[in-house]
Amino acid sequence: MKKNFILVLIGFFSLLSGSAFAQYAKGDKLLNVGIGVNSYYNGGIPVGASFEVGVTDEISVGGSIDYLSHNYGTFFGNDWRFTALYIGARGSYHFNELLNLKNDKIDLYGGLTLGYRSFTWSDSSYGSGLGNSYGSGAFLGIYAAGRYYFSEKVGAFLEVGAVGSTNAKLGVAFKF
């Protein structure tokens, strides 16, 4: 199923018309700011950002941060709240040259994120044992993604995979 989704994503980006922007090259600075389209934790809207710098014509490295907080409301007289924070280093491989993709408005990429995640659960009950952090620690994420540029410096992106507190993130992409 994931393989089919990625193939559809690649096909969609391939159909879009292009003009010469030379979308990814060594030295480019790339900023993504977006929201998760779902949450692993059944509540809240994940938000995140990533920043990368091109170290070669195919590889970029940088960092990412993702945040999710959700107040579940009052149940049995207790107020419950969940917060997740992901901070990581990431590296991406840009596939345009490998795939011989000639549409310069499109940047197809994928990569890995390695970092730290912090989970916090709070409730107003002292007897539940859930008032402490749990599940915090190192994490490894993998993603397949694409950017479509509307102009030389601004576009949209979609990342799918393990991307922070969601498995799909979309938003605005900037190139400096």
The CATH number of the domain where 104 resides is what?
2.40.160.20
Res 24 pLDDT > 60: yes
Count of CB atoms situated within 10 Å of the CB of 64: 23
- What are 33-80's pLDDT values in tens digits? 999 987 666 678 899 999 999 999 999 999 999 999 888 777 666 677
Domain of 92 in residue numbering reads as: 2-175
When pLDDT is averaged across residues 128-144 and rounded to a whole number, the result is 76
CA-based max dimension of the chain: 62
pLDDT of amino acid 72: 73
Residue 106 has pLDDT above 70, yes or no: yes
Q: Dihedral sign, CA of 148, 151, 152, 157?
A: negative
> What's the structural domain count of the chain?
1
Per the model's pLDDT, the better-predicted residue between 38 and 105 turns out to be 105
